[in-house]
Chains A and B, each alone.
Chain A
Amino acid sequence: MNDTPPQKPRVGLFITCLVDLMRPSIGFAALRLLARAGAEVVVPDQQTCCGQPAYNSGDTKNARALAKDVIEAFADFDHVVVPSGSCGGMIAHHYVKLFADDETWRAKAEDLAARTFELTTYLVDHLDLNDTGAVFDGSATYHDSCAGLRELGVKKQPRHLLATVDGLTLNELEESEACCGFGGLFSIKYPDVSGAIVDKKAVRVEAAKSDVLLGGDLGCLMNMAGKLKRRGSKVRVFHIAEVLANMTDGPAIGEATLETAGQDRDA
């Protein structure tokens, strides 16, 4: 650490299409956490999708086009932060491979990769956030999403942050590193297989006897929340950022809004 106070890093938040469309509160939670940790955050309005669905479907042409858009939209930030290990991994790990034969764009992709971080990793490893000021009265279990874990080394950071939450008890999930069966388009192209994998995960989540299930990737969380709901489980599902930013007052993922909660139970 320098003696002079460090300048606030200028952070571009890559919101991810799922958070943008399905659960904006995760984005607002990320904004609050980054601000608390001392970053100056901007959300560029030229961003949409990182291109992973195309990339993982073998559609290299569209994947490259979308990657170029992201590279350009985030060219001017010190750092790029993503509330998802999956989209973060796409940008930090896979963009470079898309431009293996294109020196100019490969250089740009490498530059972006070096500046891109998953949210909890960034908060802990780069901004030294040790105090979230969050309060959560209950027990939680945590699923390690695959891309974050294996491509970006997200493992200790979320646990470090959860330990700062007043009132929260963490019950480790058995086989927390086993895939939940989401896999993006895999989940709809192979519904039976995906459904069977997430069923195994749901059984373990229930065995963890916790009030909430947390994770860092909305895709996986929607998959697990959807299966838990189908099984009639009472476990509530949140993105870790929502807990860390004290934003758990509203409905959890897949949960009815308060006004219709009774109606849902009767349905």
Chain B
Amino acid sequence: MSQDPKCHDFQLGAKKALDDERLQTLLGRTLENGFQKKRLQGMSRLPEYEQLRDQARDLKDHVLDHLDMYLARFEAEVTKAGGQVHWARDAAEARDIILDICIKAEAKTVSKGKSMIAEEIGLNDHLIANAITPIETDLGEYIIQLRDEPPSHIIAPAFHISKEQVAETFKDSHTHLDPDRDLSEPTTLLNEARGELREKFLRADVGITGANILVAETGTAMIVTNEGNGDLTQDLPPVHIALTSIEKVVPTLEDATLILRLLARTATGQEQSVYNTFFTGAKRPTDIDGPDEYHVVLLDNGRSELLGSEFRDILRCIRCGACINHCPVYGVTSGHAYGWVYPGPMGSVLTPHFVGIEEAHLLPGASTFCGRCEEVCPVRIPLPQLLRNWRVRAFEKGLSGGAQRLGLGVWAALARRPWLYRLTMNFAIAALGMLARGKGSFKRLLGAGGWTKTRDLPAPQGGTFQSRYAKGER
């Protein structure tokens, strides 16, 4: 997967998505009629849901206040359990650490559980460039790997691909199977993928997973999956690498259960994901299975910088995807338009930090500030405010464009002088009224092309309120 950001092309990507009827159908099915409804059902079965959100917010804030302490404890416990923790300052360091481990293990193939951090650091490309074959084992990730596409959603990476397209992809890729086989049923697709992957699980030299939560008191890392592929990736190969980021740590196992009660419910409406897999260290002499070697790669990649910034709250994010599922913008553009790894509201906060606001300034702008993301966030991240903070930075750097800057300046200069404002506006509104010639709205209007491109512009009713009020109208 290429990690070159294409965020500056947001509008182009969005247009492409809007013109794609098939994608629009999949968006409606997956979000409004899928994740959104399921979340509501999940919440309705948990009366203390709102209290849990407060607790989770406070828990994550507490961890962020004492991050160094909990990470040090986590490392000590992992070491005690026979594992090794590697600290990666940035994406390049993380890639090199993982490559080193793979080379030492003489790895030819690596099985991979679903990991957004692996996307963030561009791991697959790096492995391939060094003659190591990564095999995605999450069904969605497997499909997009075959199609050489980036994920379009952090928890449903291939939702944008229809089952007919998956069937085509499988026929193109699994050439050793009967080309005339029937792949019209989702279960057939699933079974075929399972058959292909089972062999690869067994042959993999190294397994790489992410981690949803790290537990400081025990040195345990855990992942949630619905397919069980994480277990096989973590368990079967002789070497297991858990690739994760520093903000995922919580103090105790009990704290981990708090996050787990919220995570799946908010994401998919499930009470729990099908598999909650905990792993602590390497295989012990008395264990019947598990990896001989166990590594945890802890990625910073600018997160400690976020900790001291006006974007700190985003570090509470547990990657449930709810803000994405409920965003009206994502709901029509899907994920690829955002041009990098993380889409939707959480992505538009994170991406400018990773790729630079110069590249990504259109993303914080791509929000109506409707506030639904904040409303559904299980850890109460004030996403609109964080997006606004990026707009402030973009404005300070002059990235929002001269025309907008000038427009805002002129508007403010007028609005600060009520007499001049009234004089100008009375004239402008009268002129617009004349142009409208009683038709009530404009199909086109010079200077309002952005508006009239997709809808009519209602014309002013006639006279300003203030002028009519001053004349005694009530």
Contact = CB atoms under 8 A, between A and B. Distances in A.
B369 interface: yes
Contact of A62 (B391, B412, B449, B455): B412
B194 interface: no
Contact of B460 (A22, A177, A181, A225): A22
A210 B333 CA distance: 29
Contacts of A151: 371
Contact of A21 (B429, B439, B441, B474): B429
B388 A56 contact: yes
A254 B456 contact: yes
Nearest to B337: A193
B421 to A, nearest CB: 5
Given A21-B460, A31-B474, A260-B438, A227 B454 contact: yes
B459 interface: yes
Contacts, number: 230
B404 interface: yes
Q: Among B328, B385, B416, B437, which residue has the most Cβ atoms of chain A within 10 A?
A: B328
B107 interface: no
Contacts of A225: 441, 456, 458
A20 B466 contact: yes
Interface stretch (B225-233, B237-245, B360-368): B360-368
A58 B474 contact: no
A183 B18 CA distance: 19
Contact of A58 (B332, B388, B441, B459): B388
A222 B473 CA distance: 24
B135 interface: no
A43 B470 CA distance: 10
Interface stretch (A44-52, A118-126, A158-166): A44-52
A244 to B, nearest CB: 16
A146 B371 CA distance: 7
A226 B455 contact: yes
Interface of B: 11, 14-15, 18, 32, 328-329, 331-333, 365-372, 374-375, 385, 388, 390-396, 400, 404-405, 408-409, 411-412, 414-416, 418, 421, 425, 428-429, 437-441, 443, 448-451, 453-466, 468-470, 473-474
Given A197-B328, A263-B439, 17 more contacts: A21-B464, A24-B468, A27-B465, A48-B418, A57-B400, A58-B394, A146-B369, A181-B328, A182-B368, A186-B366, A186-B369, A190-B329, A193-B11, A225-B458, A230-B456, A259-B438, A260-B438
30 contacts: A21-B460, A22-B461, A24-B468, A28-B474, A43-B466, A47-B418, A48-B418, A49-B411, A54-B408, A56-B369, A57-B395, A59-B408, A59-B412, A62-B412, A151-B371, A179-B328, A181-B328, A186-B368, A187-B451, A190-B329, A191-B450, A191-B453, A193-B11, A193-B366, A195-B453, A226-B451, A226-B455, A227-B456, A230-B456, A254-B457
